[in-house]
Copies of this chain bind each other. A is one copy, B any other.
Amino acid sequence: MELKRFFSNSKIENNGFVVLENEEHNHLKNVLRFKIKDKVIVVCNDNFDYVCEIEEINKNNSVLKVIEKQENKHNPKINVSVFQALVKNDNMNLIVQKLTELGVTKLIPFESTFSTSKIKEAKTDKWQKISNQSLKQCKRSLCMQVENPVKFSNILPMLKNYDCIIFANECEKTTSIKNINEKANNIALIVGSEGGFSEEEIKQLLNYDAISVTLGNRILRAETASIALTSVTMYKFGEW
């Protein structure tokens, strides 16, 4: 029987104990009804799975003692950041969940000309929580970092940190991801909302060496484009 996984925001303490609070404590105590001495795995955004034994189950927290530290084998080997134009919250939730499973390192939501949602509607804390839940399910131990949303113009200077920058462009007819060199360590994917990017935005992305690619002949919903482009990127750059 595989051990259940829990996520902790704080690192393992020097004495080898970890404390679960809030949702994770509630999940352990009231949903899965674990008892003292039961074993679980705790991950805390480093490269390890910590096999723990439950020492205390209190009203507001549980205390767990680390009994074994194992290297996690489910973290992504390549570094992919997704710059995602804000879309309606239901779709954003789906994107956050799926991109975590697929192995994205960082998600940077942004507001563009055609965004179907605005920065002030963003739920960054909730998205991070959804991602941390998804992380347990897919067994990675390193978080997908969900950044606070920014304006389109603010993503441009960030792009210089990447050696391969790809954006999904409905108007692109010729260039496919197949045309891109397979050697890259830091990959940025840029996905618009329904309606894609404005002409001015496309011009600016090209100026920053972003490569415009087609995702095929059909018009994909924003969340489909994001999940499909991420899947193909993981495949192409060696995660599959």
Contact between B221 and A101, CB atoms less than 8 A apart: yes
Contact check, A138 vs B102: say whether CB atoms are below 8 A apart.
Answer: no
Docked pose: A231 CA to B220 CA in angstroms:
11
B137 touches A240 (CB 8 A): no
Q: Which residues of B have CB within 8 Å of A185?
A: none
Total interface residues in chain A, CB < 8 Å = 37
How many whole Å from A193's CB to the nearest CB in chain B? 14
Within 8 A of B (CB), among A147-200: 176-178
Q: How many copies of the shown chain assemble into the complex?
A: 2
From 89 to 104 in chain A, residues with beta carbon under 8 angstroms from any chain B beta carbon are 94, 98, 101-103
Which of B101, B217, B234, B240 is within 8 Å of A239, CB to CB? Answer: B217
Proximity string of chain A (101-127) to chain B, C-beta cutoff 8 Å, 1 when within and 0 when not:
111000000000000000000000000
Shortest 7 CB-CB distances between A and B: which pairs? A228-B231, A138-B218, A231-B231, A232-B235, A216-B240, A216-B239, A74-B218
9 contacts between A and B (CB under 8 A): A74-B219, A76-B217, A98-B224, A102-B216, A137-B219, A140-B218, A228-B228, A231-B231, A235-B235
Residues of A at under 8 Å CB distance from B? 73-77, 94, 98, 101-103, 137-140, 176-178, 213-221, 224, 227-229, 231-232, 234-236, 239-240
